[in-house]
Amino acid sequence: MTIRIALAALAVLLATGQGAAAEPAATVRELNRGPVAGETFAYDPALVRIPVGGAVRFEPTDKGHNVTPIQALWPAGAPSLNVPFNAEATVTFDSPGVYPVQCTPHTGLGMVALIVVGDADMNEFAAKAASAPGLAPKARAKLGVLAGAAGRP
């Protein structure tokens, strides 16, 4: 009888996901030299997909970088984030959406990344990015490429 109750409780936990181990955080490295030949100042990877409730660990592999939202494109009502220069931090994303981040001194050089949480409308994001005010041309171009890549399965 006791074994049956324990097995039933285990089945309920597993069915609801409460007994499952949390997915490890995705790691994004902050680099002075990007993974693409000739690329300077980059997040690697620059495109991350995580489930709702997933986390991203920002790792200052090279010094002199931070992580902040691109405010003009940040999801309305989403909590902001601020990873200080040279600091490691893990950020949990509890709402679906597209979260664009930047390194403030290197945004103009294209140091941006996209965190795609759950199912997101990449077409809507790409349209917003194409017309977002105050976005440097290299950052705008990279966000367009990343949005296109994120929209493909």
The reported pLDDT for the residue numbered 153 is 59
Q: Is 22 annotated as a binding residue?
A: no
In angstroms, the CA 107 to CA 5 distance is 57
Q: For residue 46, how many C-alpha atoms fall within 13 Å in the half-sphere facing its CB?
A: 27
106 in a labelled binding site: yes
Q: How far apart are CA 69 and CA 86, in angstroms?
A: 17
Quickly list H helices, the chain: 2-16, 122-131, 137-150
| pLDDT tens track for 120-130 | 999 999 999 99
Token output for 96: 């679906």
Low-confidence ranges of the chain (pLDDT < 50): 1-17, 19
Give phi and psi for 134, each to the nearest 5: 75, 10
- What pLDDT does 151 receive? 86
Q: What is the pLDDT of residue 21?
A: 56
H/E element holding 46?
none
Options 1.10.260.40, 1.10.1670.10, 3.30.70.1560, 2.60.40.420; CATH of 26-151: 2.60.40.420
Whole-angstrom CA distances from 133 to 71, 81, 128, 148 are 10, 20, 9, 20
